[in-house]
Amino acid sequence: MDMTYSPEHEAFRREVRAGLRAAMPAALRAKAEVDAHFEHDEIMQWHRVLASKGWVAPHWPAAYGGPGWDSTRRFIFAEELEAMGAPVLSPFGVSMVGPLLIQFGNEQQKARYLPKILSGEEVWCQGYSEPNSGSDLASLQLRAVDDGAGHFILDGQKTWTTYAQYADHIFVLARTQPEGKPQAGISFILCDMKTPGITVKPFLTTGGTPAFCETWFEGVKVPKENLVGELNQGWTYAKALLGHERTLVAGVGISSRMIRRIKLIAKDTWLGGRPLLEDAGYRAKIARLEIQLEALKMANYRTVAAAQLGHAPGPESSILKLRGTEIQQACFDLAMEIMGHDSLSWNNPEGTIPAREQSIAPQFNYIRAATIYAGSNEIQKNIIAKFILGLPA
Amino acid sequence: MNFELSDDQKLLVDTVQSFARKDSPTTRFRELRATEEGFDRGVWRQMGELGWLGVMFPEAVGGAGLGVQEATLVLEQLGATLVPEPYLESVLLAGTALLHAGSDAQQQRWLAPMVAGETVLTLAHTERQARFDAFDVSTRAERRADGSWLLTGEKTLVPVGHAADALIVSARTNGAQRDLDGISLFVVEPSATGLERQRLEFMDGHKGATLRLRDVIVPPDALLGEAGQGWKSLELALDHGAAGTCAEGAGLLRAVLEMTRHYLTERKQFGAPIGSFQALQHRCVDMFVEVELAKSTAILAMIKASAADVGERQRALSAAKVTLATSGGFVVRQAIQLHGGIGVTDEHDVGLYFKRHHTLSTLCGDEQYHVERFARLPGFAPLD
Ligand SMILES: Cc1cc2nc3c(=O)[nH]c(=O)nc-3n(C[C@H](O)[C@H](O)[C@H](O)COP(=O)(O)OP(=O)(O)OC[C@H]3O[C@@H](n4cnc5c(N)ncnc54)[C@H](O)[C@@H]3O)c2cc1C
């Protein structure tokens, strides 16, 4: 066993680090410096910067515009992005519908959609969840009916659609077969958000941002060519997508960045006449969290190394989302604790509390979602119990 | 031992509870959090008329002459529906300081109108470098030749600081920055020249202000008690405030548990109420356990808040404060988790309770502060 990177990988790290630094616009750098909240426009600005370098979609095959990196290079690149506090790109195009189209889409669909996902010209959102179908996604009710004239007619409601108000397209799971096993009657359909009959109503998260929407479909007419793959096979495609890039779901980079941020805040916070970071009790708290992260990081490395050798993800990969999201939440809990009275402040003018602390309270609220979305942690545990530990149903 | 409420206490609790449920559901809080002041002075006056603001103050100022126990019982009921009027700040914090350190005349002038519901008060002690050490005071007060006082300094993120009709400000009249000796309490009215109040939003929807005192001149009778001798009153006010946060927290947590229990029976996934899944049943039971422990230590705090022995008082209050933070922290986090996506929306109440819980855990000393205080109290180390 050996934990060093090869000289080529080390050189790669130096190269992308320098490249990213040079490419980041000054205004974004200033915000990244204090881990400020990035608005949609800024995220898209960064998307275009990465696009110009060919670095938007590291996990896409080179034939579709990926940079052709191995899994270790992709991992290093992600680490470098997170270490510099870069805006996190919207995942819906680059990490979700893009890879899905590459795997299951036809040539016309790939040619129509992939280049604009890469360039950032078109923004996507994800229409899976419905008011009565969250964890039990297979029970979804939004209907897509063949009108016999080359269209599907969509009727129903999606909810929690993240940033639908900015999206040009939505990919929906729709019911095309009402009878039989629920999973076997779902299709994967692409839809232009400007199609008549779609209504989007954004609403606020507890973090105070209009991050998600209710999305209604009333008689929405979608050309049949927007069906991805085969009719009634949408569930299989969606599930295949869940297996993508498992090493990123742990959010190790985000948490590492947060630990650094916690230490910087602790350095500038006073306790008993000296910096809080010098207090043994708080140092122990931060250290415990960092050690938890160290353990998770190692589990993540094991997954990366296995992927590099071409092995399927091992059991260790199934714990990444579970523990990774818990650690992300613990980071914000600790940051809030260290901020003391400052943690009570809510979106007040600059200068009320230190700039580095400003976005912590909203994120402390929003990060509660990390253990809920992308398959809640309870659902993850059900899956692990059944499929990894083989416990009886 | 007997933890039953007296008949009078029961009557008080029942009336406050029925007000909270019928007249101040969380929708009222939602309306008020969008306003400048964040609470309703009409309702405050009503609370004064009903005698709720005076339960722990003597009859001479219009109070009922009862104790902190009654005040915290009121607050517990208000906590259950997030009633936004500043009971904690006016009654438990500033009220205690005035009661303990103020002369009869000062109590008539500043306490009586609050008891009547005509004014609101707050305690302004927080300084950035002090964290939760309220004795770490850098705001200075100097006596001028004519006996008036000159105040200079900054108090950060003071709840109700934006609206208070009188602020009890801690300032150092002598000694070094972290001395217990040399701290004085002054009543500062918002009209004082040189006082700048920057109105601020708090995470939980309440409002407050950062106060900047630049050569603020207050008259001789603004000083509460003797110069330099304010620490004991300030410490007591913060302990009473701590009891208040625990009581309000107990009311809040009970509501959160009930809300979650209800949701588990209503929400269906996989063709069944999610409350039928054993994993969630156990989680809900764990929440119930923590709520009962938080309630138990809140009762401990209510009883011991007025203990004559400071060590005995602080042991109880620190235990309750730590339990509020840890047990309560678990409860509000799991409550959001079990609500799923809807728990992360501003439209659902559970997030409001989550936010308020954080405030209550933080005010008057957070978990770490009280763990350390508990471990430093006389009697913690065994006698050999
Ligand atoms: C911030 C945020 C952004 C989102 N963005 C999108 C988006 O862009 N597009 C989209 O389609 N969806 C999105 N979602 C929706 C997300 O996928 C769902 O919230 C999630 O699937 C959970 O569904 P639910 O909210 O209906 O909760 P429910 O399924 O009702 O679950 C409630 C609780 O019950 C638990 N539970 C449910 N079933 C079981 C079981 N069998 N055993 C044990 N526990 C169980 C859950 O873990 C949870 O704690 C987003 C959600 C959030 C919070």
CA distance B267 to chain A (A): 9
Reported as a pLDDT band with limits 50, 70 and 90, residue A241 is confident
3-class DSSP assignment, residue B4: coil
Q: Does residue A248 register a pLDDT over 70? A: no
Closest by Cβ to B344, choosing from A132, A345, A368: A368
What count of other Cβ atoms lies within 10 Å of the Cβ of residue B228? 17
Q: Which sign does the torsion angle of CA A188, A192, A195, A197 carry?
A: positive
Question: What b/e readout covers A283-312, taking b as 16+ CB neighbours within 10 angstroms?
Answer: eebbeebbebbeebbebbbbbbbbbeeeee
Mutate which of A162, A376, A382, A383 to test ligand 1's pocket (most atoms within 8 Å of Cβ)? A376
Q: In the prediction, which pLDDT does A197 show?
A: 98
Residues B135-148 have pLDDT tens digits of: 999 999 999 999 99
For residue A94, give the amino acid letter.
V
- Alpha carbons A235 and A244: distance in angstroms, whole number: 15
Q: Is A129 in the pocket of ligand 1 (CB under 6 A)?
A: yes
Asked which of A89, A113, A140 is the last residue of a domain, the reply is A89
- Alpha carbons A304 and A313: distance in angstroms, whole number: 8
Instruction: Provide the number of CB pairs (under 8 Å) joining chain A to chain B.
Output: 131
Asked which of A72, A89, A106 is the last residue of a domain, the reply is A89
CATH code (residue A145): 2.40.110.10
Looking at the domain assignment, is residue A156 inside a domain? yes
A143 neighbors A155 (Cβ within 8 angstroms): yes
Looking at the domain assignment, is residue A157 inside a domain? yes
Question: Could you tell me which of B75, B76, B74, B84 has the C-alpha nearest to residue B27?
Answer: B84
Question: What b/e readout covers B66-82, taking b as 16+ CB neighbours within 10 angstroms?
Answer: bebbbbbbbbbbbbbbb
Q: Does residue A247 register a pLDDT over 70? A: no
Looking at the domain assignment, is residue A302 inside a domain? yes
Q: Which domain holds residue A141?
A: 124-232
Residue of A nearest to B372 (CA): A281
Of all protein residues, the one whose alpha carbon is nearest to atom 43 of ligand 1 is A378
List of chain B residues whose C-beta atoms are within 8 Å of the C-beta of residue A343: 203, 358, 362
Q: Does residue A309 register a pLDDT over 80? A: yes
Looking at the domain assignment, is residue A50 inside a domain? yes
List of chain A residues whose C-beta atoms are within 8 Å of the C-beta of residue B340: 134-135, 372, 376
CA distance B41 to chain A (A): 23
List of chain A residues whose C-beta atoms are within 8 Å of the C-beta of residue B126: 341
Least confident of A249-253, B162-166, B312-316: A249-253
CA distance B130 to chain A (A): 7
A281 and A190 together in one domain: no
CATH code (residue A272): 1.20.140.10
Q: What is the DSSP string of B163-207?
A: T-SEEEEEEESSS-TT-STTEEEEEE-TT-TTEEEEEEEBTTS-E
- Alpha carbons B317 and B301: distance in angstroms, whole number: 5
Closest by Cβ to A160, choosing from B126, B156, B341: B341
- Alpha carbons A43 and A31: distance in angstroms, whole number: 12
Q: Does residue A246 register a pLDDT over 70? A: no
Tell which of A341, A371, A382 to mutate to test the B interface (max B CBs under 10 Å): A341
Asked which of A89, A116, A146 is the last residue of a domain, the reply is A89
A377 and A276 together in one domain: yes
A272 and A383 together in one domain: yes
Q: Does the beta-carbon distance from A203 to B354 stay under 8 Å?
A: no
Quote the ligand 1 centre to B353 CA distance (angstroms): 20
Tell me how many domains chain A contains: 3
Looking at the domain assignment, is residue A226 inside a domain? yes
A307 and A335 together in one domain: yes
Q: Which residue has the tokens 């004559």?
A: B308
Q: In the prediction, which pLDDT does A243 show?
A: 61
Residues B12-58 have pLDDT tens digits of: 999 999 999 999 999 999 999 999 999 999 999 999 999 999 999 99
List of chain B residues whose C-beta atoms are within 8 Å of the C-beta of residue A159: 341
Q: In the prediction, which pLDDT does A307 show?
A: 81
3-class DSSP assignment, residue A221: strand
A224 and A256 together in one domain: no
Closest by Cβ to B337, choosing from A207, A345, A371: A371
Q: Is B348 in the pocket of ligand 1 (CB under 6 A)?
A: no
Residues B318-366 have pLDDT tens digits of: 999 999 999 999 999 999 999 999 999 999 999 999 999 999 999 999 9
Looking at the domain assignment, is residue A290 inside a domain? yes
Looking at the domain assignment, is residue A107 inside a domain? no
Q: In the prediction, which pLDDT does A244 show?
A: 60
A39 and A159 together in one domain: no
A260 and A372 together in one domain: yes
Closest by Cβ to A271, choosing from B131, B203, B345: B131
B186 neighbors B221 (Cβ within 8 angstroms): no
Q: Is A162 in the pocket of ligand 1 (CB under 6 A)?
A: yes
Residue of A nearest to B356 (CA): A344
A145 and A199 together in one domain: yes
A314 and A227 together in one domain: no
Tokens of B109: 């002038």
Output the average pLDDT for chain A: 94
Q: Which residue has the tokens 């042991």?
A: B315
Whether ipTM exceeds 0.95: yes
Q: Does residue B160 register a pLDDT over 70? A: yes
Q: Does residue A71 register a pLDDT over 90? A: no
A215 and A184 together in one domain: yes
Reported as a pLDDT band with limits 50, 70 and 90, residue A94 is very high
Q: Does residue A249 register a pLDDT over 80? A: no
Q: In the prediction, which pLDDT does B199 show?
A: 98
Residues A130-175 have pLDDT tens digits of: 999 999 999 999 999 999 999 999 999 999 999 999 999 999 999 9
Question: Could you tell me which of B296, B354, B380 has the C-alpha nearest to residue B3?
Answer: B296
Atom of ligand 1 nearest to the CA of A129: 11
CA distance B2 to chain A (A): 36
Question: What b/e readout covers B135-165, taking b as 16+ CB neighbours within 10 angstroms?
Answer: bbbebbbeeeeeeebbbbbbbbbbbbbbbbb
Phi and psi at residue A85, to the nearest 5°: 70, 30
Q: In the prediction, which pLDDT does A149 show?
A: 97
Q: Does residue B268 register a pLDDT over 90? A: yes
Average pLDDT in the B94-107 region? 98
Looking at the domain assignment, is residue A109 inside a domain? no
Reported as a pLDDT band with limits 50, 70 and 90, residue B134 is very high
A254 and A347 together in one domain: yes
Reported as a pLDDT band with limits 50, 70 and 90, residue A374 is confident
Reported as a pLDDT band with limits 50, 70 and 90, residue A1 is confident
Q: Does residue A245 register a pLDDT over 60? A: no
Q: Does the beta-carbon distance from A378 to B279 stay under 8 Å?
A: yes
Q: Does the beta-carbon distance from B337 to A372 stay under 8 Å?
A: yes
Q: What string of H, E and C letters represents the secondary structure of A304-344?
A: HHHHHCCCCCCHHHHHHHHHHHHHHHHHHHHHHHHHHHHHH
A209 and A318 together in one domain: no
Closest by Cβ to A368, choosing from B156, B157, B336: B336
Q: In the prediction, which pLDDT does A315 show?
A: 77
Reported as a pLDDT band with limits 50, 70 and 90, residue A93 is very high
Q: How far is CA B8 from CA A257, B65, B251, in A?
A: 55, 13, 19
- Alpha carbons A273 and B131: distance in angstroms, whole number: 10
Of all protein residues, the one whose alpha carbon is nearest to atom 25 of ligand 1 is B341
